[in-house]
C-alpha cells in the first residue's frame, strides 16, 4: 500500500521505517510544524508529572530535583523518551488518554498535585477530568503545532489519487490533511476515504479503505 504519514519530525522517521518494514510504500509529508514555547520553571515540586507526547518531553524545562518524581505517560514511546531524558520513576498507560486517566487514578491518590507538560491545543481534557476527582493540575504549555505552509502539501495533493491510506497521530493532523482537499466522500484509486485517529503503534495504524469492497487494515 501507498501510505501518507502526516506525523511531525523527528518522530515520523520511526513511523516510516516501521511501515516500510511491513512492505508499504510511504509518502512522508508532515502537516504540522512544532515550535517550542518557553515555559516558566517549576517553582515547587509537584507530586507527579504527566507527558502525553514526545514533543512535550523534548520541549519541557528540565529540573534535576524532579527526576525521581513519578512520571505518567500515555504510551510506551513517550515513556522511552522520558527515560532517555533522565527520569527514573516512569509509568506508561500504553494506550490512550482514558487509559492514562485510569493509571493516574489507580496509582496516585487525590488530591495530588500534577504538572502536565504539553501542547497549546491538547488532544482531550485531561486536566478537567482529573480535577473532577480532586487532583490539582497545572497544565504547562511547552510547544505549539502550527499548520505547515500549503505549498509543502502540493506534492501530496497531486498524488492523492495514488494514495491508499493516511496515518495520523492526533486530531489536529486530520484537520491538516483536509487542507489537501481530502473529503469523506472523495475517492482514491482504491476506494472511499475514511479517516480515523490512531492510538498507538501498531494496533491503530490509520488507513483508508484499501479496496472497493471496504477491506481495512
Residuewise pLDDT in 10s, the chain (217 residues) = 899 998 888 878 888 998 999 999 999 999 888 999 998 878 899 999 999 999 999 999 999 999 999 999 999 999 999 999 999 999 999 989 999 999 999 999 999 999 999 999 887 899 999 999 999 999 999 999 888 888 888 878 888 888 888 887 655 555 555 656 544 334 444 333 333 334 433 333 333 333 333 332 3
Q: What is the pLDDT of residue 7?
A: 85
CATH number of 35-146: 3.40.50.10090
Q: What is the pLDDT of residue 45?
A: 95
Q: What is the pLDDT of residue 214?
A: 31
Helix ranges (DSSP H) in the chain: 12-21, 54-59, 76-85, 97-107, 126-132, 154-159, 171-177
Q: What residue segments make up the domains of the chain, in order of their start?
A: 2-31+149-192, 35-146
Torsion-angle region of residue 150: left (phi > 0), alpha (psi -120 to 50) or beta? alpha
Q: What is the pLDDT of residue 181?
A: 53
Rg (CA), the chain: 19
Q: What is the pLDDT of residue 43?
A: 83
Q: Tell me which residue of 161, 165, 116, 174 sits closest to 142, measured CA to CA.
A: 116
Residue 187, helix vs strand vs coil: strand
Whole-number Å distance between alpha carbons of 75 and 96: 7
Amino acid at each position: 500500500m501507498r501510505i501518507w504519514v502526516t506525523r511531525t519530525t523527528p518522530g515520523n522517521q520511526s513511523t516510516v521505517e516501521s511501515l516500510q518494514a511491513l512492505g508499504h510504500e510511504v509518502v512522508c509529508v508532515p502537516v504540522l510544524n512544532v515550535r517550542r514555547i518557553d515555559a516558566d520553571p517549576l517553582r515547587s515540586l509537584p507530586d507527579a508529572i504527566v507527558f502525553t507526547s514526545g514533543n512535550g518531553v523534548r520541549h519541557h524545562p528540565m529540573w534535576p530535583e524532579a527526576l525521581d518524581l513519578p512520571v505518567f505517560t500515555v504510551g510506551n514511546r513517550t515513556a522511552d523518551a522520558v527515560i532517555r531524558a533522565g527520569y527514573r520513576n516512569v509509568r506508561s498507560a500504553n494506550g490512550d488518554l482514558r487509559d492514562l486517566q485510569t493509571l493516574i487514578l489507580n496509582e496516585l491518590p487525590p488530591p495530588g498535585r500534577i504538572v502536565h507538560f504539553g501542547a497549546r491545543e491538547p488532544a482531550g481534557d485531561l486536566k478537567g477530568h482529573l480535577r473532577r476527582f480532586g487532583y490539582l493540575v497545572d497544565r504547562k504549555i511547552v510547544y505549539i503545532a502550527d499548520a505547515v505552509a500549503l505549498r509543502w502539501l502540493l506534492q501530496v495533493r497531486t498524488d492523492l489519487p495514488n494514495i491508499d491510506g493516511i496515518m495520523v497521530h492526533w486530531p489536529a493532523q486530520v484537520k491538516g490533511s483536509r487542507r489537501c482537499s481530502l473529503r469523506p466522500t472523495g475517492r482514491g484509486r482504491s476506494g472511499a476515504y475514511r479517516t480515523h485517529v490512531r492510538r498507538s503503534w501498531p494496533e491503530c495504524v490509520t488507513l483508508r479503505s484499501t479496496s472497493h469492497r471496504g477491506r481495512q487494515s
